[in-house]
Structure 1
């Protein structure tokens, strides 16, 4: 050891550096790149961006569609800048698409399958990159995937229910032929309440006769937003 300095500034002065050292932090652009190239952040941006786009379909607003599109673009850009392997990227994107397909089924199987696929894809990203911590990174990826998938699954369920109710309210005639149960007795030539398709509806008796609570009924018509039913014998 030829020389020992107490600090970097002292060392620079002793070697005749013309000006004191100044720390220069990353620019805003660099900070954004650092943020989106973290695998968990990129994955979350893709998931949340897609979720906002789906929410925009059920509640059309320019805000949600715009923000959702921006988040999707940032997430995909982050994956590209990371140099994510084709297999890992394909698995993560396939997992995201599989989770969104849950809107069609509503059974939870596709949401769980998609969460597992994205978690495996994240682990592949962490393990394949020498610049990422394999131990803590994989744990964070799995924990983040589980928590985020639970939140996404809940909102996908809510969006699916909203879309389903929109379709039902848009065309009540699709309830004709379905059966239900009287939840509040239908008075003679009056109204009552029936449970049809997991929803409560105001109902009228086709014949005008009363129908007691608990009896099975079938929808035979629609009057405005009221169902016309008859007793199932």
Structure 2
């Protein structure tokens, strides 16, 4: 029987609702130390959410120190209370986050990467890698962000149709789920391509987020350079216990 989540406008994201449910089960004693949590497929059946949503909720539990992922076993409870100590959360938050997002994939093609990126993917002789360009807009708005995404050769040849329903869905279908990532956020000015795609002046400041996304085997799946129009976003650092 599926447990109902709140899909109404303005409700918490589904992964956050699922995280809250699991947290309550941990704190109430329904899940105890050394218990193995249900699989992502079981969460999909029980709550009617995608595996990506389930994976993100579990990742939050891992980050808080409640559970750990163990090869051959699954997601195991290691604590029913949050680890003590100061935790820092760094996030990039859209100042218009209540407005709907529209994603548009512009092109996906094979491009010879810079030497540094070729080395990250372990390709020899700077062999071409698939390169996805997409923009993110707000409703009735000009593009607020452009993403340049380098993809692992393990994905095979992708088309725009393959990524239309979501890039991470395409990863999941090819057993390249993102299990961990590293973000680095800097600031800079747009280059000629950014100006053309975002329709901005070369003097407009951008927030630049560089992401490395890894599968559960620790292999690099995506290397993304996301360039955000600075006036749409806030860079927030929160300190909490």
TM-score normalised per structure 1: 0.22
- Structure with more relative contact order (C-alpha pairs < 8 Å, separation 6 or more): 2
TM-score normalised per structure 2: 0.22
Query: Whose Rg is larger?
Result: 1
User: Going by fraction, where is strand more abundant, 1 or 2?
Assistant: 2
